[in-house]
Structure 1
Amino acid sequence: MPLTTQVITAIKSTMPTYLAIFDLDETLIAADSASLWNNFIVAKGLAPASLLAQEQAMMTAYSKGTLDMDSYMATTLAPLKGKSQQQIKPLVDEFIANIITPAIYQQALERIEWHRKRGDHILIISATSEHLVKPIATALGINNVIAINLEQNHGVYTGATTGILSFKEGKVERLKMWLQQQNHTYKGSYGYSDSANDLPLLNVVNKPFAVNPDPTLAMHAQMNEWTIMDWRHENNILR
């Protein structure tokens, strides 16, 4: 059932708008930010090279829709364990400036701007950790973010996650929780993703868009007459 009738109609507001929901990896950027981050921290000597082989095997499972997200997070968050936000932030800033910014789709920037001009609210929902997703969203000028939350003890990462993981059906659950905290009634919702892992989310928005979809999502989109968007990568500078 569309979010507008299932959840959104219960939210109070005097200025109805549309909600535009974007996946991050391989949707707004022409890469997976978590994979790029793992390569980055290995190059910096903050993680063993063996992490890359482990992560590659897990990403193969992701593409098949069989990834154990709990195991993935435990493996990829291990290098953060015992490090503070203050230690990690300069690395994240460097990572975004040098690696993420050039990977952003120009068409993604244009689509975000299209929604802004309409007065729509923009939300990123990602199955990547918040320590990456939130600053990337900030660089894109997007304030609303749902990502995998990281457990901290007095500002120090424990290497664990907390709450519902924003992955597959978890994205829908986290979205419902987010909507209950908002003071808006949305006229409708747009959703953008590249992955069949996001079918639970795309199936509940009013206007789903498949962006450079994987084969499973492409077939689903064709069968359901969803719009398929072909975004090509060019080097970009955030504006």
Structure 2
Amino acid sequence: MAALGWLTGWLLPRRRSATARSVLAGEAAAEAARKSAQENEDALDAPGPPAEPDFPVVGDEKAAAFFDLDNTIMQGAAIYHFGRGLYKRQFFGKRELARFAWQQTWFRLAGIEDPEHMQEARDSVLSIVKGHRVSELMTIGEDIYDEYMAERIWPGTRALAQAHLDAGQKVWLVTAAPVETATIIARRLGLTGALGTVAESVGGIYTGKLVGELLHGPAKAEAVRALAAAEGLELSRCAAYSDSANDIPMLSIVGYPYAVNPDSRLRKHAREQGWRLRDYRTGRKAAKIGIPAAAGLGALAGGAAAAAAIQRRRR
């Protein structure tokens, strides 16, 4: 069975410990990422506006950078944007669309990842993509990136990634999003590759089962460790970037942790640890509670409008 990924599926049998599942998910993500990196080397976009970090050291082959995706490189959550694209292509109905709209609205307003919402999103996408061909979803994913994701890339974080590339370092996305979606985004941004949630496929068709678990929290740290070992990197010379306190395990294992557009818990932790902070959101409210204010209100309005439209149709 080939291992590819979507943000859905069931956890491995409970007899396996959470640590074992995290290690398996991390190793699977690292293997998939290394395979996809070869295809990304020649696809470089123009760099964003200057916003370089305090380093990197040019030519340090033992160093690399690891970037979270949702609310770090891109506004909002990739899986919800992907859901919108699948709805447009009639993969599911209005009820599921309303759920995706609400989850995205909550995520944008709260600025944090809710485990219950993440599991709902995972289960929703499982029922949608199970039985579909990997190649079909990859092709659709390219179009969805252009439709919903490209305009939501944070220029400041994009510039940070470019600074590492300009220094001759590899740059990887590390995300709970499907590895296929993450790979598309990494290629479009000219990054080295992506570590994402990996799921099984048989004969190029999704089975609906994850390899390990969602690449989230401790699993991200395991993925980074596995990739660093395979690539011959020294984590003490590497950098990691994230907006979420859920990624403290990943941030804690590198020598240069950055809190980017941080939620309140991560901001507090970063200040206590003396970590670097970067915030590319606008407005005093965003600085306080961890959201882009105008974007959050827009998401709320969009979610409310979708729900209202569905209610009207039911009457």
What's the TM-score once normalised by structure 2's chain length?
0.63
**More displaced stretch, 64-73 vs 141-150:** 64-73
User: Which structure has more helix as a fraction of its residues?
Assistant: 2
- The Cα of 1:54 is off from its aligned counterpart by 4.1
CA distance in 2, matches of 1:187, 1:161: 31
Change (3 A) 1:189 1:173: same
Q: What is the identity, as a one-letter code, of the residue corresponding to 2:222?
A: E
Q: Identity of paired residues, percent?
A: 24
- Equivalence for 1:213: 262
Q: What is the identity, as a one-letter code, of the residue corresponding to 1:33?
A: A
The residue matched to 1:97 in structure 2 has which SS? helix
Which consecutive residues of structure 1, in runs of 5 or more, have no partner in the other structure?
Answer: 1-14, 234-239
| 1:35 pairs with one of 54, 75, 80 | 80
The number of residue pairs the alignment matches comes to 221
CA distance in 2, matches of 1:142, 1:173: 20
Change (3 A) 1:66 1:232: closer
CA distance in 1, matches of 2:280, 2:70: 13
Q: What is the identity, as a one-letter code, of the residue corresponding to 1:32?
A: A
Change (3 A) 1:188 1:67: farther
| 2:95 pairs with one of 46, 50, 53 | 50
The residue matched to 1:26 in structure 2 has which SS? coil
Change (3 A) 1:77 1:131: farther
CA distance in 1, matches of 2:178, 2:138: 13
**More displaced stretch, 159-168 vs 51-60:** 51-60
CA distance in 1, matches of 2:148, 2:270: 31
- The Cα of 1:129 is off from its aligned counterpart by 0.8
Which consecutive residues of structure 2, in runs of 5 or more, have no partner in the other structure?
Answer: 1-59, 283-315
User: Which structure has more strand as a fraction of its residues?
Assistant: 1
- The Cα of 1:143 is off from its aligned counterpart by 2.4
Change (3 A) 1:158 1:78: same
Alignment check: 8 A CA contact 1:39 1:52 kept = yes
1:176 matched to 2:225? The reply is yes
1:76 matched to 2:125? The reply is yes
**More displaced stretch, 168-177 vs 180-189:** 180-189
- The Cα of 1:215 is off from its aligned counterpart by 1.2
- The Cα of 1:71 is off from its aligned counterpart by 5.5
- Equivalence for 2:35: none
- The Cα of 1:57 is off from its aligned counterpart by 5.2
CA distance in 2, matches of 1:68, 1:109: 27
RMSD: 2.7
The residue matched to 2:79 in structure 1 has which SS? helix
Paired residues for 1:77-156 under 5 Å: 77-156=126-205
- Equivalence for 1:6: none
What's the TM-score once normalised by structure 1's chain length?
0.82
Tell which structure's C-alpha radius of gyration is larger.
Answer: 2
Q: What is the identity, as a one-letter code, of the residue corresponding to 1:162?
A: V
1:25 matched to 2:74? The reply is no
Change (3 A) 1:143 1:230: same
